[in-house]
Chains A and B, each alone.
Chain A
Amino acid sequence: MARYIIRRLLQMVVTFIGTTFVVYALMFANQNDPLQALAGDRPVSDNVRQVLTEQYHLNEPFLVQYGYYMQGLLTGDLGRTLTGRPIGDVMSDAWPNTIKLALLALFFATLFGITAGLVAGLRRGSIFDNTTLALTLVVVGLPIIVLAPIAQLVFGVKLGWFPTTAGARPSLYGLILPALVLGAASTATMMRLTRASVAENVRADYVRTARAKGLSARRVVAVHVLRNSLIPVITLIGVDLGTLMAGAIVTEGVFNIPGVGSKLLLGIQTEDGPLVVGFVSVLVIVFLVTNLLVDLLYAVLDPRIRYE
Chain B
Amino acid sequence: MSDLEMAATTELGTHAADTPPAGATPPPKTRSLAADAWYDLRRNWIFWVAAALVVLVILMAVVPGLFSGADPTACNTRRQFAGPSGGAILGYDFQGCDVFSRTVHGARASVLVGLFAVLLTGVIGLVFGMLAGYFGGWLDALLSRVVDVVLGIPLLLAAIVLSKRLAADRQGSGIATVVIVLGILGWTTAARVMRSSVLTARSQDYVAAARMLGAGPLRIMWRHILPNALAPFIVVLTITLGTFIATEATLSFLNIGLRPPAISWGIDIATAGKHVREAAMPLIAPSLFLTLTVLAFIMLGDAIRDAFDPKLRR
| B266:A145 contact, CB within 8 angstroms | yes
B36 contacts the other chain (CB 8 A): no
Task: List the A side residues contacting B256 at CB < 8 Å.
Answer: 268
Given contacts A26-B162, A239-B5, A280-B161, contact A143 B249 (CB under 8 A): yes
| A284:B153 contact, CB within 8 angstroms | yes
A132 contacts the other chain (CB 8 A): no
Within 8 A of A (CB), among B248-285: 249-250, 253-256, 266, 269-270, 272-273, 276-277, 280, 283-284
Provide the A11-22 mask, 1 if CB < 8 A to any CB of B, else 0. 100111011001
Chain B residues with a Cβ under 8 A of chain A: 1-3, 5-6, 9-11, 21, 145-146, 148-150, 152-158, 160-162, 164-165, 168, 170, 242, 246, 249-250, 253-256, 266, 269-270, 272-273, 276-277, 280, 283-284, 287, 290-291, 294-295, 298-299, 302, 311
Task: List the A side residues contacting B270 at CB < 8 Å.
Answer: 145
Docked Cα-Cα span, A253 to B274, in Å, equals 11
Docked Cα-Cα span, A148 to B170, in Å, equals 29
- Name 30 A/B residue pairs within 8 A (Cβ), A-sorted: A14-B145, A22-B150, A22-B158, A26-B158, A41-B170, A138-B291, A138-B295, A141-B246, A141-B299, A142-B291, A142-B295, A143-B291, A149-B273, A152-B273, A152-B276, A189-B2, A192-B3, A197-B10, A200-B311, A236-B6, A242-B156, A242-B157, A243-B154, A245-B157, A246-B154, A268-B255, A276-B161, A277-B161, A284-B157, A291-B152
Question: Top 6 nearest A-B pairs by Cβ distance?
Answer: A242-B154, A141-B295, A246-B156, A18-B149, A149-B273, A143-B246
Task: List the A side residues contacting B283 at CB < 8 Å.
Answer: 149-150, 153
Docked Cα-Cα span, A78 to B162, in Å, equals 19
Given contact pairs A37-B165, A245-B157, A246-B157, a sample of 4 additional A-B residue pairs in the complex whose CB atoms are under 8 Å apart: A41-B170, A137-B299, A157-B276, A246-B154
A196 contacts the other chain (CB 8 A): yes
A186 contacts the other chain (CB 8 A): yes
| A31:B246 contact, CB within 8 angstroms | no
The DSSP consensus for interface residues of chain B is: helix
Docked Cα-Cα span, A26 to B164, in Å, equals 9
* Nearest chain B residue, comparing its CB with the CB of A24: B161
A36 contacts the other chain (CB 8 A): yes
| A276:B164 contact, CB within 8 angstroms | yes
Task: List the A side residues contacting B3 at CB < 8 Å.
Answer: 140, 189, 192
| Central interface residue in A31, A150, A186, A291, by most chain B CB within 10 Å | A150
| B161:A157 contact, CB within 8 angstroms | no
**Interface size class for chain A?**
35 or more
B156 CB → nearest A CB, Å: 3
| Central interface residue in B21, B170, B270, by most chain A CB within 10 Å | B270
Which of B10, B164, B250 interacts with A144 by CB under 8 Å? B250
Task: List the B side residues contacting A243 at CB < 8 Å.
Answer: 1-2, 154
A79 contacts the other chain (CB 8 A): no
Docked Cα-Cα span, A17 to B294, in Å, equals 34
Docked Cα-Cα span, A207 to B277, in Å, equals 54
Which of A138, A150, A200, A265 interacts with B284 by CB under 8 Å? A150
Provide the A273-286 mask, 1 if CB < 8 A to any CB of B, else 0. 10011001001100
| A143:B273 contact, CB within 8 angstroms | no
| Central interface residue in A41, A203, A242, A287, by most chain B CB within 10 Å | A242
| Central interface residue in A138, A232, A246, A249, by most chain B CB within 10 Å | A246
Provide the A29-66 mask, 1 if CB < 8 A to any CB of B, else 0. 00101001100110000000000000000000000000
Docked Cα-Cα span, A18 to B135, in Å, equals 24
Task: List the A side residues contacting B1 at CB < 8 Å.
Answer: 239, 242-243
B234 CB → nearest A CB, Å: 19
A87 contacts the other chain (CB 8 A): no
| B154:A283 contact, CB within 8 angstroms | yes
Which of A31, A197, A242 interacts with B155 by CB under 8 Å? A242
Which of B150, B269, B302 interacts with A145 by CB under 8 Å? B269
